[in-house]
Amino acid sequence: MYTPKILEYMVPSVEYIIAVLSVLRCGEAFMRLDPLWAKERISTIVSLSNEDLIIRCQSSFDGSGCHEPDKSDGLVDCSTCPELFISMKENLQ
């Protein structure tokens, strides 16, 4: 059984659609992590997934743009893989 090696940690947004299409275009699969899930659930999934990359960003429409990693989301403590931050904020103005 194939296990996705890419995790997407973001809310539904323009960036989410772009990330999904980009991953699929590369012939890969991904596992979506919803930022609204409990931190314990996210930590468990990340620690068990053996991921190679985490793609993350919040919506450009909420005014906050991408978030740098911090201890509050649970990803920093349980992941050792690279994280890719994306933003369409500059392109939407």
pTM, two decimals, is 0.72
pLDDT digits (tens, 9 = 90+) for 36-69: 888 889 888 888 888 888 898 865 555 554 445 4
Whether 72 shows a pLDDT value over 70: the answer reads no
Q: Distance (Å, rounded) from C-alpha 69 to C-alpha 4?
A: 22
9: helix, strand or coil: strand
- Domains of the chain, earliest start first: 6-92 (3.40.50.980)
